[in-house]
Amino acid sequence: MTRVIGCGNLHRGDDAAGLLAARRLHALGIAAAGCSGEAIALMDGWAGAESVILIDAVVSGQPPGTITVWDPLAAPLPRECFVGSTHAFGVAEAIELARVLRRLPPRLTLYGIEGARFDQGSPPSPEVLLAVERVAQEIAQCTNPHS
Amino acid sequence: MSTPRNRTIKVDYMARVEGEGALYVKMKGERVEDVQLKIFEPPRLFEAFLRGRTFSEAPDITARICGICPIAYQMSAIHAMERALGIDVHPMVRLLRRLFYCGEWIESHGLHVFLLHAPDFLGYPDAIALARDHKETVEMGLRLKKAGNQIVTLLGGREIHPVSAAVGGFHRVPSRAELEPLREELKWALDASIATAKLVSTFECITFEPDYEFVALRHPTEYPLNEGRIVSNRGLDISADEYEDHFQERHVKHSNALHSYHRGFGSYLVGPLSRFNLNFDKLPEIAQQVARDCRLTPPVRNPFRSIGVRAVELVFACHEALRILDAYEPPPEPRVKVRPRSAIGRAATEAPRGILYHRYELDEHGLIVTAKIVPPTSQNQPRIEDDLRELMPGLVAESDAEITLRAEQAVRNYDPCISCATHFLKLNLDRT
């Protein structure tokens, strides 16, 4: 069984991408949890799972809405691409810390959705909302046992 | 090694999080010509968001200002509203709020001591590198932080941006049985906090003791969390209602965050060192003894030793949480009824980083007319710059890398909401 976790902050523009994808998956009948991306909560969130999919906003210089899929078990993540969570200990740091502490799940996939604006109170970009839908549909297809 | 005569140290981008910032230091020989801690994104917008909202919404709206100290924002908002509306809460509600705040202190101090501050003293760039060589230490920090998370989640309804606290009490209060599962982990956390204090007391600190004005809350019988008078080591002794008579915010060109000054005095320090120095006698005996064992007795003036003081406050918070578990009985009602009225309410509580001041003006329907929020980082910002001005001349013979590292550490001593980002900063250095 795959555990899906969407990360981010609903009140900071495109940083909401992961949480919005989790909500969309929920509406599609796929269990998906929301998380701030804070390290301990993430590690607790995937504890015991065989397979985990994370969704988070990233900033890598690509156009807004670009979707990048990483296999964090294969290589360290580019930490500079990830939007910091509580006190800069966010998704990338959680994964790297979990790697050192041997707390990574056996299978882990990370969907990064390129964001453009992260200011307090701003709405998500239209491109990011489109990407959220694409990511949700793709994850729903590959995790839905009836598909 | 030749000593450059003119040096400009710029730390360009303190990424995202609860405030974005940068650091700029300009030196000519041993003279520091300019120091600027630039904060780009303070939470001032929330004061505008709050206008026109009902008094009951303020705790949940302000909780979103900070991911690491939402309880502090909720508590300051709630106490200010209750002052405005003339509400007294049941003693057990008061106890629960204190427990809630202990949870936040344990979370916040656990995060800072182990994941953000300890790498500075042990020579690692970050907690991930630290974990490679000190796995058990980092695991202990994570478990301590989680012990705090558990309190916040249980009382707040959820871990991030809790929603249960309300003006007049709580939307729902737990039974004794619901709190009981916290006990065993808190007992472990108390022992772990003592071990933490002893561990960090072995860290080497540079000698640096500025002449601070320490400002903190002081309560007649308790180590301060939710209430108390605002006092200092220079004779200040005021209620929260008088805060704005004594403290002034100023705009400075290089920062979006307003700088706070004590009128007639200048910069001042809020946070663990101030609380500890002004309230040592209110710490429980176990925390006082741990402090003495770690050679921490007031006044502690070296900000690099704040890591030890935070560890002592961890001991206090765990001990206090256990005391509250013993004393707690559910109140007859989770919250008292609240009737709106036209009024002004002010309150200050002790966030993990120091005093957090809120003021609200309400109309007769309980709608917010004006709001003012002064976070601890805004209050400490001028003092951080003063620390850098005093620290830098002694480092003039050091390499640029060493100066930058010390400057970042000096900022991190404060655990400001931007401190985390200094671990990932890029340095631009101009030599002339």
Q: Kindly report the CATH number assigned to the domain that includes residue A32.
A: 3.40.50.1450
User: How, if at all, do strands B6-14 and B21-28 pair?
Assistant: antiparallel
A3 three-class SS: strand
Q: Which residue has the tokens 């998500």?
A: A124
> Looking at chain A, which residue has its C-alpha nearest residue B425?
A80
Q: What is the dihedral of CA A86, A90, A133, A72, to 10 degrees?
A: -170
Residues B252 and B121 in one domain: yes
> Measured between alpha carbons, how far is B100 from B78 in angstroms, rounded to an integer?
13
pLDDT of B321 > 70? The answer is: yes
> Looking at chain A, which residue has its C-alpha nearest residue B146?
A40
pTM for this entry: 0.90
Q: How many domains does chain A have?
A: 1
- Do residue B67 and residue A93 have CB atoms under 8 angstroms apart? no
Q: Which domain holds residue B263?
A: 45-381
Q: How many domains does chain B have?
A: 2
pLDDT of B40 > 80? The answer is: no
What value does the mean pLDDT take over residues B357-373?
A: 96
Residues B426 and B364 in one domain: no
Residues B111 and B255 in one domain: yes
> Measured between alpha carbons, how far is A25 from A21 in angstroms, rounded to an integer?
6
What value does the mean pLDDT take over residues A139-146?
A: 80
pLDDT value at position B2?
Answer: 39
**Chain B neighbors of A85, CB-CB under 8 A:** 17, 67
pLDDT value at position A81?
Answer: 67
Identity of the residue numbered B254: H
Domain harbouring B242, CATH code: 1.10.645.10
pLDDT value at position B408?
Answer: 83
> Measured between alpha carbons, how far is A118 from A7 in angstroms, rounded to an integer?
14
The answer to whether A7 and A19 are in contact (CB under 8 A) is yes
pLDDT of A138 > 80? The answer is: yes
What value does the mean pLDDT take over residues B102-125?
A: 93
For chain B, give the percent of residues with pLDDT over 70: 88
B237 alpha-carbon distance from chain centroid: 21
Mean pLDDT score across all residues of chain B:
88
- Do residue B17 and residue A39 have CB atoms under 8 angstroms apart? no
B407 three-class SS: helix
Q: Which domain holds residue A78?
A: 8-115+130-143
- Do residue B160 and residue A40 have CB atoms under 8 angstroms apart? no
A110-119, B137-146, B386-395: range with highest mean pLDDT: B137-146
Lookup: tokens for B416: 């400001």
Residues B26 and B104 in one domain: no
Count of CB contacts below 8 A, A vs B? Answer: 80
> Measured between alpha carbons, how far is B340 from B336 in angstroms, rounded to an integer?
13
Find the DSSP H helices in chain A.
17-27, 39-46, 91-100, 126-143
> Measured between alpha carbons, how far is A137 from B136 in angstroms, rounded to an integer?
41
Residue A55: inside a domain? yes
Q: Give me the helix-helix angle, A39-46 and A91-100, nearest 10°.
A: 60
Q: Which residue has the tokens 């009836």?
A: A146
- Please indicate whether residue A81 or residue B376 has the higher confidence score (pLDDT): B376
pLDDT value at position B14?
Answer: 38
pLDDT value at position B66?
Answer: 72
pLDDT of B8 > 60? The answer is: yes
Identity of the residue numbered B221: T
> Looking at chain B, which residue has its C-alpha nearest residue A35?
B160
Residue A138: inside a domain? yes
Residue A54: inside a domain? yes
B3-12, B150-159, B321-330: range with highest mean pLDDT: B321-330
Tens digit of pLDDT for each residue in B72-98?
999 999 999 999 999 999 999 999 999
Q: How many CB atoms lie within 10 A of CB B6?
A: 13
pLDDT of A83 > 70? The answer is: no
Residues B418 and B371 in one domain: no
Lookup: tokens for B210: 């500025």
**For residue B144, which of B183, B98, B186, B184 has the smallest C-alpha distance?**
B186
- Do residue A87 and residue B17 have CB atoms under 8 angstroms apart? yes
**Chain B neighbors of A84, CB-CB under 8 A:** 15-17, 420-421
Residues B170 and B104 in one domain: yes
Confidence band, pLDDT 50/70/90 cuts, at residue B426 = very low
pLDDT value at position B297?
Answer: 96
Lookup: tokens for B405: 């590292």
- Please indicate whether residue A39 or residue B42 has the higher confidence score (pLDDT): A39
Lookup: tokens for B40: 């780009």
Residues B32 and B119 in one domain: no
Q: Which residues pair with B80 in a beta bridge?
A: none
Residues B109 and B216 in one domain: yes
Residue B390: inside a domain? no
What value does the mean pLDDT take over residues B199-208?
A: 95
Find the DSSP H helices in B5-123.
45-50, 58-62, 70-85, 91-110, 118-122
> Looking at chain A, which residue has its C-alpha nearest residue B107?
A40
pLDDT of A61 > 50? The answer is: yes
Shortest Cα–Cα distance, B63 to chain A (Å): 12
Residue B414: inside a domain? yes
> Measured between alpha carbons, how far is B163 from B160 in angstroms, rounded to an integer?
9
Is ipTM strictly over 0.90? no
Lookup: tokens for B20: 């974005």
Residues B37 and B118 in one domain: no
Residues B26 and B128 in one domain: no
Residues B203 and B275 in one domain: yes
Residue A125: inside a domain? no
Q: Which residues between 119 and 158 in chain B have a beta carbon less than 8 angstroms from any beta carbon of chain A? A: 126-128, 131-132, 135, 138-139, 142, 145-146, 149
Phi then psi for residue B303, to 5 deg, are -65, -20
Shortest Cα–Cα distance, B9 to chain A (Å): 22
Residue B386: inside a domain? no
pLDDT value at position B125?
Answer: 86
> Looking at chain B, which residue has its C-alpha nearest residue A95?
B128
pLDDT of B425 > 60? The answer is: no
Residue B392: inside a domain? no
Question: Is some CB atom of chain A closer than 8 A to the CB atom of B318?
Answer: no
Q: A110-124, B271-285, B335-349: lowest mean pLDDT where?
A: A110-124
Residues B222 and B348 in one domain: yes
- Please indicate whether residue B116 or residue B342 has the higher confidence score (pLDDT): B342
pLDDT value at position A146?
Answer: 61
**For residue B313, which of B102, B56, B26, B37 has the smallest C-alpha distance?**
B102
pLDDT value at position B429?
Answer: 31
Note if the bond before A78 is cis, omega within 30 degrees: no
